[in-house]
């Protein structure tokens, strides 16, 4: 097999990861490391496809296991291997990969991997210095450890849905599996610390990341408020008391809005001046920050009347120039044309033989000295079977052919 | 419990100088949990953002902001007036003693330039800048706070009711994402330093971090020509929607009503409805395995009409059940359903209790322990530090200036007289 692709300039070059995870949290956690140079072998199977491979958006708007940008965005820079882990011979191959790896990440319901002989005790027996991270909805122990489900349900269970929306309406939850995008940031932080410990001491360990527990760190102020004052947070729209006005105000066009946060008297004067409403500055209802917070409803109505005819982008620019925090409420379509994200270089176009070129979501962090990058588009099913099984494990082409024929590599 | 062993967390022995405001607070908190000695630097009198809501009013009349408390636990607190004439050498000395320097000053500000200069003079330091929109034009000069980031990053557009303005998700979610992303970046640079011995500058872009909360929604317009839209308790786009949240007897529940791969869950729900005589005849033989109504952007009008009819039948049943029942039966029957929990429900959750997630943190002002969210990950060999309270401004001036800079009491007093500390 050809030489193994390692890129020594990248900060995690040389780190080896066996990625047995699927859906959101595990794959995104590993993606941080793969895009920064780690060699990550992502194991999948046709028997039990990753649900995000089945999810939209699809290239040319047609469903298909190789057409999902949902999957593609989460799995850049990884090597794709297919193994039907329900078969003992595939389990043995996975154990050999775990012996090769520094790190194993998995996100099955607890018990599944143990049943396949791929649990923590099995894998540390073949690799005593292994770092293994398991993440499931509610953690590996406890009465609800086996709770199945997706991040939408976790976002409801951990309190985010209840506090999102208007006080007089049903909850209006955040889009999608919100906690799937909270947890990877915490999981990757913990995983990198464990890898650092492994490198310094040679000691491996097991990480149990409960998506419930990790997510609650983003609800901590509300949890402390209940604990300390008895207040059970409800829904309160965009209300706030650190800024007034504070909210989204209608602008010209179809569903165009500008978010504004005005803190303090100087910003308020600048805001009224940009909107050419000197009468607001003379209005006793709006004379102080405390008065503006108390009169938020009247203030919001007055501002909506003033912004309704304005171009959102132009008003944002004028307010920003005057020192006021303001930003267009951007749709997904807007994001792809956003000059601010463009300046950061957020979207990166990647090509892959199985899919037409597409803009992939880039990173929100950048290491100035040794930046990561989206090294490769996400792999097609089994794209790197020969590279990994031959190049890493030393299997012959004939042996790999046999495994493919037997649907062990499948 | 994995965490009960008396062994240190993984990053004990490392030091962080934390100069951040709310945009970066969580980064230092996570490092402190990992064992780093995190020293939070505030101006004399304290960071004015300590007051961000929600707040608790103490017996002495003072108000304590709970976002600050949650994201600064486990740090030590010192004061330093960065714009004092004699502050620069103190800042440089602190930076030189640190392994990590965290800050969230506006990229164009003098303070950002001062920290960058000090960090450049200490090449071992990992210097992480948490910014609203990155360090490149035009974003580097823009002003933001939490709601503006949620707007510019995209999540706000898809949150709220269609007949009202878009909504931000409360409790400083944008700041939390930025801070946690900064922890990842800081750790990546720390691992790189393990190989090279050299630190580097890490820049975090909060707007981009928010884009990463959109799941698959950010890519829809590229392939399907339109964006998803906010639709209250539904997920939807123009003209089509699927219900995510259903009222129940004592609040709300969230249900994934799926066919195909989700068919076993939906069948289990139908069986539960049937036990209560609430499964309509026309639903009894529904072909869930073959049912693919299409995602929000793709549903045909006939499928939408069918979806609404099914949702109404399910809603009628769920209205008769309580959150606790849904939680218990959903788990037992393996239905993809969960209660829309309040923070009171979370505090009483049996799974969290079984894993002893909430940990007592003594609070001298309350005269009691405060149940505080515990480890964000359970590490078997190097468990995280337990949660601790946040420092008062300058609470650790004497010990930190002594340990980090070797100052004695006279030197500290002189710095205080000069208005630096």
- What letter would DSSP give residue B111? H
Query: To the nearest whole number, what is the mean pLDDT of chain A?
Result: 96
DSSP summary character for residue B390: P
Task: Determine the distance in angstroms separating the CA of A333 from the nearest CA of chain B, rounded to an integer.
Answer: 5
- Tell me the residue ranges of DSSP E strands in A137-278: 205-210, 246-250, 257-261
Share of chain B above pLDDT 90, in %: 90
Does A60 touch chain B if contact means CB atoms closer than 8 Å? yes
Q: What is the Cα Rg of chain A in Å?
A: 25
Full set of structural domains in chain B with CATH: 2-212+356-417 (3.40.50.10540), 228-342 (3.30.1540)
In the block, tokens 């906010």 appear at: B230
Asked whether the CA dihedral A250, B215, B234, B169 is positive or negative, the reply is negative
Rounded to 10°, the helix A265-274/A312-321 angle is 140
Distance CA(B37)–CA(B11), nearest Å, equals: 9
pLDDT band at A241 (very low <50, low <70, confident <90, very high): very high
Q: Does B46 touch chain A (CB under 8 A)?
A: no
Angstrom distance (rounded) from CA B33 to CA B14: 12
Q: Percent of chain A scored above 90 by pLDDT?
A: 92
Cβ contacts (< 8 Å) between B191 and chain A: which residues? 11-12, 192, 195-196, 199
Closest CA to A176 of B254, B200, B184: B254
User: Residue B148: which of A153, A219, A326 has the nearest Cβ?
Assistant: A326
B250 touches B323 (CB < 8 A): yes
How far is residue B254's CA from residue A289's CA, in Å, rounded to a whole number? Answer: 38
Please give the Cα distance from B312 to B80 (Å, whole number): 61
d(CA B330, CA B338): 7
Nearest-CA distance A384 → chain B (Å): 25
Most A CBs within 10 A among B148, B221, B251, hence the mutation to make, goes to B148
**B residues 73-102 near A, CB within 8 Å?**
none
Taking an 8 Å cut-off on Cβ atoms, the answer to whether B216 and A73 are in contact is: yes
Of A180, A241, A255, A265, the active-site residue reads A180
Average pLDDT, integer, range B287-310? 88
Residues of A in contact with B159 (CB under 8 A): 164, 172-175
Q: Give SS3 for A54.
A: helix
Q: Chain A partners of B174 at a C-beta cutoff of 8 Å?
A: none
Q: Is residue B298 over pLDDT 80?
A: no
- State the pairing for strand pair B100-103/B368-372: unpaired
Instruction: Provide the token pair at B376.
Output: 């964000």
3-state secondary structure of B151: helix
Q: Are A258 and A249 in contact (CB under 8 A)?
A: yes
CA distance B251 to chain A (A): 9
Q: How far apart are CA A102 and CA A80, in angstroms?
A: 18
Place of tokens 């692709």: A5
Based on the residue annotation, tell me whether A122 is a catalytic residue of this protein.
Answer: no
Per-residue model confidence (pLDDT) at position B3: 45
Q: Nearest chain A residue to B354 by CA: give it.
A: A142
Cβ A21 vs Cβ A27: under 8 Å: yes
Q: Which of 197-226 (B) contact A at CB < 8 A?
A: 198, 200-209, 211-226
pLDDT digits (tens, 9 = 90+) for A289-320: 999 999 999 999 999 999 999 999 999 999 99
**Tokens 């990561």 belong to which residue?**
A372
* Positive or negative: CA dihedral A322, A323, A329, A334: positive
Residues 6+ away with beta carbon under 8 Å from B113: none
Calculate ∠ Cα A35-B24-A341, nearest 5°.
50
What does the block give as tokens for A279? 């009468």
Instruction: Average the pLDDT over B385-392 and give the result.
Output: 96
- A-B Cβ pairs (cutoff 8 Å, strict): 534
What is the distance between the alpha carbons of residues B87 and B50, in angstroms, rounded to a whole number? 23
Decide if pLDDT at A3 tops 60: no
Would you state the pLDDT for residue A2?
43
Residue A197: which of B10, B138, B189 has the nearest Cβ?
B10
Instruction: Report the alpha-carbon distance of residue A371 to residue A367 in Å, rounded.
Output: 4
CA distances from residue B32 to B29, B39, B40 in whole angstroms, order as listed: 5, 9, 11
The residue among A46, A87, A18, A98 whose CA lies nearest residue A408 is A87
Mean local confidence (pLDDT), B54-72: 96
Q: Which two three-digit tokens encode residue A77?
A: 């820079």
Q: Which of B184, B229, B324, B354 should be substituted to probe chain A, the one whose Cβ sees the most A Cβ atoms within 10 Å?
A: B184
Of A351-355, B108-112, B244-248, B317-321, where does mean pLDDT reach its minimum?
A351-355
The pLDDT, as a whole number, for residue A151 is 85
The closest alpha carbon to B191, from A192, A373, A7, A372, belongs to A192
pLDDT in tens, B219-272: 999 998 889 999 999 988 877 899 999 999 999 999 999 998 899 999 999 999
Spatial distance between the Cα atoms of A204 and B379, rounded to a whole number of angstroms = 10
Tell me the C-alpha distance between B178 and B174, whole Å: 6
- Burial annotation B281-304 (CB, 10 A radius, 16+ → b, else e): eebeebebeebebebbbbbeeeeb
Rounded to a whole number of angstroms, the distance from the CA of A203 to the nearest CA of chain B is 8
pTM of the model: 0.98
Question: What distance in Å separates the CA atoms of residue A171 and residue A220, rounded to the nearest whole number?
Answer: 20
Cβ–Cβ under 8 Å, residues A171 and B252: yes
The string of pLDDT tens digits covering residues A35-75 is 999 999 999 999 999 999 988 999 988 889 999 999 999 99
How far CA B14 is from CA of B34, B82, B96, B248, B386, in Å, comes to 10, 23, 13, 50, 17
The average pLDDT across B388-404 equals 97
Reported confidence tier of residue B277, pLDDT bands at 50, 70, 90: very high
Can you list the positions of beta strands (E) in A7-66? 16-19, 39-44
Question: CB-hemisphere CA count at 13 Å for A356?
Answer: 7
**Residues B239, B300 contacting (CB under 8 angstroms):** no
Do residue A11 and residue B190 have CB atoms under 8 angstroms apart?
Answer: no
* Residue B305 forms contact with A (CB below 8 Å): no
Rounded to whole angstroms, how far apart are CA atoms B210 and A233? 23
How open is the CA angle B292-A151-B240, to the nearest 5 degrees? 40
Give how far Cα A339 sits from Cα of A71, A335, B152, Å: 26, 9, 11
DSSP string, B73-122: TT-EEEE--TTSTTHHHHHHHHHHH-SEEEE---TTSHHHHHHHHHHHTS
Cα distances from A94 to residues A19, A99, A371, A389, B417, in angstroms, run: 10, 9, 31, 10, 65
DSSP character string of B221-283: HHHHSS--B--TTEEEETTEEEE-EEEETTEEEEE----GGGHHHHHHHHHHHHHTT---HHH
Interface test with B, best of A166, A220, A304, A342 (most B CBs within 10 A): A220
Q: What is the ipTM, given to two decimal places?
A: 0.98
A369 → chain B, closest CA residue: B200
Query: Rounded to a whole number, what is the distance in Å from the CA of B253 to chain A's nearest CA?
Result: 8
Q: Is pLDDT at B293 greater than 90 in this prediction?
A: no
Q: Using a pLDDT cut of 70, give the percent of chain A over it.
A: 99
A55 touches chain B (CB under 8 A): yes
pLDDT over threshold 70, residue B5: no
Confidence band, pLDDT 50/70/90 cuts, at residue B6: low
- Residues forming beta bridges with residue B17, ordered by sequence position: B39, B101
Tokens 């037992």 belong to residue: B332
Domain ranges of chain A: 16-218+345-405, 246-337
Report the distance separating Cα B358 and Cα B21, nearest Å.
26
> Check: CATH 3.40.50.10540 for A16-218+345-405?
yes
CB B9 within 8 A of CB A196: no
> What pLDDT sits at residue A7?
87
Per-residue pLDDT at B14 exceeds 50: yes
The residues near A368 (Cβ < 8 Å, ≥ 6 apart) are B200, B201, B202, B203
Identify the residue whose tokens are 């309160």. A236
Identify the CATH homologous superfamily for domain A246-337: formyl-coa transferase, domain 3 (3.30.1540.10)
Mean pLDDT of chain B: 95
CA of B279, closest CA in chain A: separation in Å?
23
The H-or-E segment that residue A184 falls in is helix A183-201
Per-residue pLDDT tens over the stretch B142-177: 999 999 999 999 999 999 999 999 999 999 999 999
Report the sign of the C-alpha dihedral through residues B133, B134, B140, B145, in that order: positive
Distance separating alpha carbons of residues A44 and A107, to the nearest angstrom:
12
Which whole number is the average pLDDT over A124-139? 97
A405 Cβ contact list (under 8 Å, min separation 6) = none
Interface residue B262 vs chain A (CB under 8 A): no
Q: What are phi and psi of A165, to 5 degrees?
A: 135, -165
Cα–Cα distance between B353 and B207 in angstroms, integer?
A: 35
Q: What is the mean pLDDT of residues A187-203?
A: 98
- Which residue is closest to B233 within chain A, CA to CA? A172
- Cross-strand pairs, A19: A42, A105
When pLDDT is cut at 50, 70 and 90, the band that residue A4 belongs to is low
Query: What pLDDT does residue A162 have?
Result: 98
Instruction: Report residue B391 as tokens.
Output: 């420092």
Is any Cβ of chain A less than 8 angstroms from the Cβ of B362? no
CB-based contact, A367 to chain B, within 8 Å? yes
Mean pLDDT of B332-347: 97
Residue B292's pLDDT is what? 83
Residue A333: both structure tokens together: 């379509």
Q: Which of A367, A374, A377 to mutate to test the interface with B (most CBs of B within 10 A)?
A: A367
Does A123 have pLDDT greater than 60? yes
- Give me A169's structure tokens: 């309406």
Residues B114-138 have pLDDT tens digits of 999 999 999 999 999 999 999 999 9
Residue A46: which H helix or E strand, with range? Answer: none
């Amino acid at each position: 097999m050809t030489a193994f692709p390692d890129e020594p300039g990248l900060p995690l070059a040389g780190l080896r990861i066996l990625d047995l995870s699927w859906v959101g949290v595990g794959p995104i956690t590993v993606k941080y490391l793969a895009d920064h140079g780690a060699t990550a072998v992502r194991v999948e199977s046709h028997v039990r496809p990753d649900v995000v491979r089945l999810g939209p958006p699809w290239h040319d708007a047609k469903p298909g296991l190789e057409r999902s940008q949902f999957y593609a965005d989460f799995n850049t820079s990884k090597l794709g291997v297919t193994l039907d882990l329900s078969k003992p011979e595939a389990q043995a191959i996975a154990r050999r990969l775990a012996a090769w790896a520094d790190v194993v990440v998995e996100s099955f319901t607890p018990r599944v991997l143990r049943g396949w002989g791929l649990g923590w005790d099995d894998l540390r027996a073949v690799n005593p210095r292994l770092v293994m991270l398991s993440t499931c909805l509610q953690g590996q122990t406890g009465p609800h450890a086996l709770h199945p489900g997706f991040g939408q349900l976790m976002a409801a269970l951990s309190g985010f849905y209840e506090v999102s929306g208007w006080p007089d309406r049903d909850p209006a939850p955040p889009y999608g599996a919100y906690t799937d995008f909270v947890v990877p940031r915490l999981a990757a932080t913990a995983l990198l610390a464990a890898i650092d410990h492994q490198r310094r001491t040679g000691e491996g360990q097991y990480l149990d990341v409960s998506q419930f527990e990790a997510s609650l760190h983003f609800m901590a102020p509300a949890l402390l408020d209940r604990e300390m004052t008895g207040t059970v947070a409800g829904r309160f729209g965009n209300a706030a008391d650190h800024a007034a006005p504070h909210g989204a105000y209608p602008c010209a066009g179809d569903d165009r809005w500008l978010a504004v946060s005005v803190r303090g008297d100087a910003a308020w004067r600048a805001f009224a001046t940009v909107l050419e409403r000197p009468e607001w500055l003379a209005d006793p209802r709006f004379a102080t920050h405390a008065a503006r917070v108390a009169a938020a409803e009247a203030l919001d109505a007055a501002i909506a009347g003033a912004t309704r005819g304005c171009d959102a982008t132009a008003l944002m620019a004028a307010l920003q120039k005057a020192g006021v925090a303001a930003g267009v409420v951007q749709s997904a379509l807007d994001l792809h044309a956003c000059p601010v994200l463009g300046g950061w270089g957020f979207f990166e176009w990647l090509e892959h033989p199985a899919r037409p070129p597409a803009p992939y979501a880039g990173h929100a962090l950048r290491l100035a000295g040794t930046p990561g990058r989206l090294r490769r588009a996400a792999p097609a099913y089994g794209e790197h079977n020969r590279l990994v099984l031959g190049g890493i494990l030393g299997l012959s082409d004939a042996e790999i052919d046999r495994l493919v024929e037997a649907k062990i590599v499948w | 419990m994995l965490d009960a062993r008396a062994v240190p967390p993984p990053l004990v022995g490392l030091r962080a100088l934390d100069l951040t405001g709310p945009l970066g607070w969580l980064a230092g908190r996570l490092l402190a949990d990992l064992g780093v000695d995190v020293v939070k630097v505030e101006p004399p009198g304290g960071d004015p953002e300590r007051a961000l809501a929600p707040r608790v009013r103490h017996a002495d009349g003072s108000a304590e902001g709970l976002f600050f408390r949650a994201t600064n636990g486990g740090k030590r607190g010192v004061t330093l007036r960065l714009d004092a004439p004699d502050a620069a050498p103190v800042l440089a000395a602190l930076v030189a003693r640190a392994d990590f320097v965290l800050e969230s000053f506006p990229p164009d500000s003098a303070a950002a330039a001062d920290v960058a200069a000090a960090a450049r003079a200490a090449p071992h330091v990992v210097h992480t800048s948490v910014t609203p929109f990155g360090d490149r034009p035009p974003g580097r000069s823009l002003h933001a706070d939490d709601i503006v980031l949620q707007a510019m990053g995209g999540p706000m557009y898809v949150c709220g009711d269609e007949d009202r303005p878009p909504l931000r998700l409360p409790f400083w979610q944008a700041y939390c994402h930025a801070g946690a992303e900064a922890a990842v970046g800081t750790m990546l640079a720390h691992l790189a330093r393990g190989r090279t011995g050299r630190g580097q500058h890490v820049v975090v872009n909060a707007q981009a971090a928010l884009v990463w909360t959109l799941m698959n929604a950010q890519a829809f317009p590229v392939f399907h020509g339109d964006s998803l839209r906010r639709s209250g308790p539904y997920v939807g786009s123009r003209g089509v929607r699927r219900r995510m949240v259903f009222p129940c007897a004592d609040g709300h529940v969230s249900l994934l009503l799926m066919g195909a791969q989700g068919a076993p869950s939906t069948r289990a729900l139908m069986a539960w409805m049937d036990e209560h005589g609430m499964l309509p005849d026309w639903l009894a033989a529904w072909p869930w395995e073959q049912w693919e109504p299409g995602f929000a952007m793709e549903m045909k009008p006939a499928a939408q009409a069918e979806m609404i009819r099914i949702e109404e039948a399910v809603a009628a049943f769920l209205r008769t059940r309580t959150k606790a029942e849904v939680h218990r039966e959903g788990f037992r029957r393996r239905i993809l359903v969960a209660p829309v929990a309040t923070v009171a429900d979370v505090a009483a959750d049996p799974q969290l209790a079984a894993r002893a997630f909430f940990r007592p943190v003594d609070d001298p002002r309350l005269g009691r322990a405060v149940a505080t969210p515990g480890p964000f990950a359970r590490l078997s060999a190097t468990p995280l530090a337990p949660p601790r309270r946040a420092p008062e401004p300058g609470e650790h001036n004497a010990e930190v200036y002594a340990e980090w800079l070797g100052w004695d009491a006279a030197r500290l007093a002189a710095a205080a007289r000069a208005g630096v500390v």
